[in-house]
Amino acid sequence: MTQSFQKLRALTGMKDILPDSSSQWEQLEETVRQWLASYGYRNMRTPVLEHTQLFARGIGEVTDIVEKEMYSFTDSLNGDKLTMRPEFTAGMVRAAIEHNLLYDRPHRVYAMGPVFRHERPQRGRYRQFHQIDVEALGLPGPDVDAELIVMLGRLWKILGLNDIRLEINSLGQAEERAAHREALVTYLEQHKHVLDEEGQRRMYSNPLRVLDTKNPAMQDMANNAPKLFEFLGEESLAHYRGVCDRLDDAGIAYTLNTRLVRGLDYYNLTVFEWVTDRLGAQGTVCGGGRYDGLIELLGGKSAPAVGFAIGVERLLDLCSQQDQAQSLPECQIYMIHQGDAAQRQASLLAEQLRDHGLRVLVHAGSAGFKSQFKRADNSGAAAAVILGENELSAKTASVKWLRAADLPAEQQQQSIAFDQLATELKARI
Ligand code: ATP
Ligand code: MG
């Protein structure tokens, strides 16, 4: 008796990246690695799972992420409370503290990979998504704050993107935020009637975040609220101007958005977002800023830090509006053969071609020439190399160029001696 199983599907909001689109991802990752290396950033990889406490402390208890978006569970083996990382920074800082990276010199590091947030899925908002996360640890700025932003400007240029604009703000220091908070709470109390449930709940625990609301009915209230920027003292303003001057030097345009507070609690001084109108409601491609208090908060010796995270799905969405993404063909050369001896010879020749850096697929199993040719064509290969009895005895391969219909017949088909095959093919690909 056969048992039938219900077809299993990926989890809601979690996407498969299939071979036809993965080359777009790989190309972006390669571009990003080179771009980051050109500014001295080195890769770092931290675990996907961390103690829940790391994020609760590092991101802040009263944030969307910690309140409602984390994938958390109890380890059934030992009762530990664990969370799938919802962002990189807390884990990166934990690792830097744990391995004493911060005591000798600053570190410029980056990570790429999946992060997890339990959100309502829609375009540009998934439950497993990917970030490119970049952190400069141990540097007080404002020079490095500006360098990070200039770096991003370069990445958009490399990728041919020009519809992204920069918004910046300064969140000042703790004392400035405390003074502003007092004024803000008074203001929110006066406008309690327009606050939604979340707003009322956060009014005292995280009033700044009340202004970050997406609720249209609260926009007027948020726009007219006391601005943190107006509470900044001379030092914070000097830091802000230090960033702006360097952006001016680099010819990077920006607007001051005094309502920009970012989702995470640990930011101070510089915060910024790169935003586009081309992605509908989910228009923030990259967000970042300074978080000088976080390292100490997580148990390290106090050290300044600044960083950003790019949302890869949103960035790729933007890139594919710009140019038609080409998927990478399965191979450059498809080897066709007839008979056992020819199959073995084809495998040997394929190894030689790979020694020369060619991407080669040897037809697996046996089939008629016609169906092998069809597979070769569908593979996207530039050429089929054909081995039959005649070719074996003459030690010569027949080569058919598959994408050369507009060339004269004699250039579409060639005979090439086995020992010349690699160099001849390489020369034409
Ligand atoms: P949003 O306001 O859109 O929720 P956020 O403030 O939560 O963003 P960050 O925590 O700063 O976002 O994450 C950095 C970047 O990651 C964002 O700018 C965005 O590009 C991307 N991002 C955030 N959440 C998601 C998601 N659920 N799906 C896809 N990309 C996301
Ligand atoms: Mg969010």
**What's the confidence (pLDDT) of residue 43?**
97
DSSP H or E run through 9: none
Assess whether 38 and 154 both reside in one domain. Answer: yes
Which residue, of 296, 321, 346, is where some domain finishes? Answer: 321
Domain of residue 421, residue span: 333-428
Is residue 103 domain-shared with residue 144, that is, in the same domain?
A: yes
Nearest CA to ligand 1 atom 11: 287
- Give the model's pLDDT for residue 324: 61
At 404, which CATH number? 3.40.50.800
Gap from CA of 186 to ligand 1 centroid (Å): 30
Please tell me whether residues 259 and 300 are part of one structural domain.
yes
Residues 96, 66 contacting (CB under 8 angstroms): no
- 265 shares its domain with 356: no
Domain count, the chain: 2
Report yes or no on 46 lying in a domain: yes
pLDDT in tens, 196-241: 888 888 888 888 888 878 888 898 999 899 999 999 999 999 999 9
Pocket test for ligand 1, best of 71, 284, 310 (most atoms within 8 A of CB): 284
- Tens place of pLDDT per residue across the chain (429 aa): 566 778 899 999 999 999 888 989 999 999 999 999 999 999 999 999 999 999 998 888 778 888 899 999 999 999 999 999 999 999 999 999 999 998 878 999 999 999 999 999 999 999 999 999 999 999 998 999 999 999 999 999 999 898 999 999 999 998 998 899 999 999 999 999 999 888 888 888 888 888 878 888 898 999 899 999 999 999 999 999 999 999 999 999 999 998 888 766 678 999 999 999 999 888 999 999 999 989 999 999 999 999 999 999 999 999 988 776 667 788 999 999 999 999 999 999 999 999 999 999 999 998 899 999 999 999 999 999 999 999 999 999 999 999 888 888 888 999 999 999 999 999 988
Q: How confident is the model at residue 261, as a pLDDT? A: 80
Residue closest via CA to ligand 1's atom 2 equals 263
Please check whether residue 353 lies inside any domain of the structure. yes
Residues 39, 151 contacting (CB under 8 angstroms): yes
Best mutation site among 69, 130, 314 for ligand 1 pocket (most ligand atoms within 8 Å of CB): 314
Tell which atom from ligand 1 comes closest to the C-alpha of 119.
27
Please report the atom of ligand 1 found closest to the CA of residue 288. Answer: 11
Closest C-alpha to ligand 1, atom 7: 263
Q: Which ligand is nearest to the CA of 122?
A: 1
pLDDT score, position 64: 83
Please tell me the distance from the alpha carbon of residue 165 to that of residue 273, in angstroms, as a whole number: 8
Q: Which ligand is nearest to the CA of 309?
A: 1
Instruction: Compute the distance from residue 316 Cα to the ligand 1 centre, in Å.
Output: 14
Q: Which two tokens stand for residue 259?
A: 């309502």
pLDDT at residue number 205: 85
Give a yes or no: residue 181 inside a domain.
no
Radius of gyration of the chain (CA): 28
Evaluate whether residue 193 is within a structural domain. no
Predicted local confidence at residue 325, as pLDDT:
60
Q: Count CB-CB contacts under 10 A for residue 245.
A: 12
CATH of the domain at 91: 3.30.930.10
- Of the residues 298, 321, 344, the one at which a domain ends: 321
Residues 316, 352 share a domain:
no
> Are 257 and 355 in a shared domain?
no
Same domain, 164 and 91: yes
In this structure, is residue 106 part of a structural domain?
yes
Q: Report the nearest atom of ligand 1 relative to the CA of 87.
A: 10
Same domain, 269 and 340: no
What pLDDT does residue 407 have? 84
Nearest-CA neighbor of 283 among 165, 183, 180, 192? 165
Q: Ligand 1 in contact with 212 (CB < 6 A)?
A: no
The CA 254 to ligand 2 mean position distance, Å, reads 23
Q: Is 345 in the pocket of ligand 1 (CB under 6 A)?
A: no
In a domain? residue 407: yes
CA dist list (Å): 87 to 65, 310, 368? 9, 11, 52
Distance CA 346, CA 348 (A): 5
Query: Is residue 310 domain-shared with residue 355, that is, in the same domain?
Result: no
Q: How far is CA 348 from CA 315, 324, 355, 360, in A?
A: 42, 37, 11, 11
Final residue before a domain boundary, out of 271, 295, 321: 321
Same domain, 35 and 154: yes
Give yes or no for residue 312 CB within 6 A of ligand 1: no
Tell me if 308 CB under 6 Å of ligand 1: no
| Whether 347 and 316 share a structural domain | no
C-alpha–C-alpha distance, residues 269 and 254, integer Å? 16
Ligand nearest to the CA of 263: 1
Separation between Cα atoms, residue 9 and residue 32, nearest integer Å: 31
Distance from Cα 65 to the centre of ligand 2, integer Å:
7
| Three-state DSSP class for residue 164 | coil
- Is the shortest distance between the CB of 282 and ligand 1 below 6 Å? yes
Q: Check residue 153 and give its pLDDT.
A: 96
Structural domain includes residue 207: no
Which residue, by CA, sits nearest to atom 6 of ligand 1? Answer: 263
pTM for this structure?
Answer: 0.86
- Asked, for residue 11, whether it belongs to a domain, the answer is no
Together in a domain, 256 and 118: yes
